[in-house]
Amino acid sequence: MTLDAATRWDIIDKISKETIAFGKYRHTLTDAIGELTVKPGTGIPIAIAILYGFWSIFGSFAGFFTDGFFVRIFDEYWLVWLQGVFPGQGGWLYAIMVDAGGIQSGQFIPSDNCLEAFGVLTSGIFVAIGVVLPAILIFYFMLALLEDIGYMPRLAVLIDTLLHKIGLHGYAIVPTILSLGCNVPGVTATRILETKKQRFIMMTLLAIFIPCGAQIGIMEDVVPGLMGWIMLYLLIGYFIFGFVLNKIVPGEAPEFLIDVPPYRKPLVSNIFKKVWGRLVGFFKVALPFVLLGCAIVGILYMLEVIDWLAVVLSPIFIGWFGVPAETAGPLIAAFLRKDLAVAQLSTIEMTEYQMITAVVLVSIYFPCVATFAMMLKEGWKELLAALAVLAVVVFLYGGLIHVIGILLGVA
């Protein structure tokens, strides 16, 4: 037999009277901190401080290990050693695996660093281990800390009003922040949103505008001075196109109800377990694609496919987006791994503003293959619609960034 809600509450009321005694509740320090971090007046400054802290720790930790440690090991020992022992210098296998040596110029010149060598064993391993590993290690450590303390729901409450403007609600901050680590769990986390409309908007915005931890890590390494501009363009895009999607996608965007849990002391064992699990998961997905991406782009260069594409697409690249035609190569790599694509962009000769535009294009132009597969799992209709939105966004936003550059007199 099933009951209606009122009857259930009636029973619970009676059970409660017989078995539960609520004593006097003391207001604790944890409660006070909880309130300070959720009231807008104090909560917003605290949130800004926390996110800024997150960002600077991320940058300095990743920079310390990459520049101070891995760059030296890889450039001075690993690359030099491989160049010496790998047979067949100048041959095709050598070019793909170790060093393509100024492949654009058509003449073999040994590279002196792992970013420009373009080889699977050099650039590929360096990007994955030397750059991305420290970045995602510190990212996931701090994310786990915020998660286990119980800060995420408070951030959700604070940002609720803003996210309603783009058809979402505060809790959309959870998939957004998860996506900053990797878009794959971010796409899965869209399931906590109530309606199809919200899930579609969220998934599309994540796939287009949220760079993953690996990509942020490599950007910090190769274009640190331009980070602010790139992130600003992505953030503005997130809101502009979210606002437009909210207007044109049919469906409802309901208010959300959330339980804000009390702050809890994180368990060190749980933090480490989570960081470890996410690192392992990341490398299972990422490492094969980084290496594969490296090999594919290397082969396409050798077959002169990239040069051909660059010529064919040059009106769009040069005329519409205002970036060098060689950007075609990294854009192909970007489908496999965005981190690899940014690394390859950094070796192309261009102005600062072109670099900003090119990195933004790499971010927004297509989700990486792992994210693509995950979106397909959530529904092929949504995936097709998201790709249609994406094509329009890349074209419009890429052009807009070019126009802004022209107006600012830098493009």
Partner 1 sequence: MNVLLMGHPNVGKSVFFNRLTGASVTESNYPGTTIDYTKGYMRIGGKSVELIDVPGTFSLNPKDKAEEVAVAMLHESKDVKVICVIDASKIERGLYLALEIIEQGYPVVIALNMWDVAGDKNITININDLSRILGVAVVATTAISGEGIKELVTSLDDARPVEIDNIINNVGGLT
As a whole number of angstroms, the distance between CA 14 and CA 325 comes to: 74
Question: With binding defined as CB under 8 A, does residue 377 bind partner 1?
Answer: no
Give the single-character DSSP code of 323: S
Stretch binding partner 1 (CB under 8 A), from 104-112, 190-198, 307-315, 323-331: 190-198
Question: With binding defined as CB under 8 A, does residue 16 bind partner 1?
Answer: yes
DSSP assignment of 185-202, as one string?
HHHHHGGGSSSHHHHHHH
Which tokens hold the place of 2? 């099933």
Question: With binding defined as CB under 8 A, does residue 33 bind partner 1?
Answer: no
Give the single-character DSSP code of 182: -
* Distance, C-alpha 69 to centroid of its chain: 24
- Kindly state the smallest distance separating residue 57's Cβ from partner 1, in Å: 20
As a whole number of angstroms, the distance between CA 358 and CA 341 comes to: 10
The H-or-E segment that residue 227 falls in is: helix 227-248
Question: With binding defined as CB under 8 A, does residue 284 bind partner 1?
Answer: no
Buried b (16+ CB within 10 A) or exposed e, 236-255: ebbebbbebbbeebeeebee
Question: With binding defined as CB under 8 A, does residue 19 bind partner 1?
Answer: yes
Stretch binding partner 1 (CB under 8 A), from 5-13, 129-137, 215-223, 384-392: 5-13
- Kindly state the smallest distance separating residue 149's Cβ from partner 1, in Å: 7
The three-state DSSP-derived secondary structure of 334-393 is: HHHCHHHHHHHHCCCCCCHHHHHHHHHHHHHHCCCHHHHHHHHHHCHHHHHHHHHHHHHH
Stretch binding partner 1 (CB under 8 A), from 1-9, 46-54, 211-219, 400-408: 1-9
**The one among 63, 113, 194, 404 contacting partner 1 by CB under 8 A:** 194
CA-based R_g, the chain, Å: 24
Stretch binding partner 1 (CB under 8 A), from 20-28, 47-55, 160-168, 398-406: 20-28
**The one among 23, 41, 84, 106 contacting partner 1 by CB under 8 A:** 23
As a whole number of angstroms, the distance between CA 309 and CA 124 comes to: 23
Question: With binding defined as CB under 8 A, does residue 48 bind partner 1?
Answer: no
- Kindly state the smallest distance separating residue 359's Cβ from partner 1, in Å: 31
Question: With binding defined as CB under 8 A, does residue 305 bind partner 1?
Answer: no
Q: Which is nearer to partner 1, 143 or 342 (CB)?
A: 143
What are 182's strand-pairing partners? none
- Kindly state the smallest distance separating residue 83's Cβ from partner 1, in Å: 41
CB 289 within 8 A of CB 86: no
**The one among 50, 57, 73, 149 contacting partner 1 by CB under 8 A:** 149
What residues contact 252, with CB distance under 8 A and at least 6 apart? Answer: 195, 197
As a whole number of angstroms, the distance between CA 276 and CA 282 comes to: 10
How many residues bind to partner 1 according to rule CB under 8 A? 50
The pattern of x and - marking residues 238 through 277 that bind partner 1 according to CB under 8 A reads --------------------xx-xxxx-xx--x--xx--x
Q: Which is nearer to partner 1, 4 or 349 (CB)?
A: 4
Give the chain's end-to-end CA distance (angstroms, integer): 72
As a whole number of angstroms, the distance between CA 331 and CA 338 comes to: 9
Q: Which is nearer to partner 1, 30 or 56 (CB)?
A: 30
CB 97 within 8 A of CB 114: no
Q: Which is nearer to partner 1, 206 or 230 (CB)?
A: 206
**The one among 72, 165, 191, 381 contacting partner 1 by CB under 8 A:** 191
Q: Determine the 3-state secondary structure of 118 from DSSP.
A: strand
Q: Which is nearer to partner 1, 186 or 329 (CB)?
A: 186
Question: With binding defined as CB under 8 A, does residue 25 bind partner 1?
Answer: yes
Q: Which is nearer to partner 1, 9 or 308 (CB)?
A: 9
Question: With binding defined as CB under 8 A, does residue 24 bind partner 1?
Answer: yes
**The one among 7, 42, 56, 60 contacting partner 1 by CB under 8 A:** 7
Q: Which is nearer to partner 1, 156 or 341 (CB)?
A: 156
As a whole number of angstroms, the distance between CA 355 and CA 345 comes to: 8
Q: Write out the residues near partner 1 by the rule CB under 8 A.
A: 1-3, 7-12, 14-16, 18-26, 28, 144, 147-150, 152-153, 171, 174, 188-189, 191-194, 199, 258-259, 261-264, 266-267, 270, 273-274, 277
